[in-house]
Amino acid sequence: MPKLKTRKSIVKRMKLTKSGKVKRHHAYTSHLLVRRSRKRKRALRRAACLPGRFAKTMAQALRGC
């Protein structure tokens, strides 16, 4: 049985932490930032972790298994 390939689109957008969580970046940070509050922009800079079953699926796609 051949090896499964990793999903390159996911590799570019997400990252696995040492503990196995899937880290991602927030949307709405590229343009039209004038309308967002300073507090909101600061919160969007921080990375977030994917929740539950979705994280498990993405982790499998990152590992290629």
48-63 tens-digit pLDDT: 999 889 899 888 888 8
pLDDT (0 to 100) of residue 61: 87
Radius of gyration of the chain (CA): 15
In a domain, 14, yes or no: yes
Supply the range of the domain harboring residue 18. Answer: 8-63
What pTM was estimated for this model as a whole? 0.71
In a domain, 58, yes or no: yes
In a domain, 1, yes or no: no
The first and second tokens of residue 38, run together, are: 């300073």
CATH number of the domain where residue 46 is located:
4.10.410.60
Residue 1, pLDDT > 70, answer no
In a domain, 3, yes or no: no
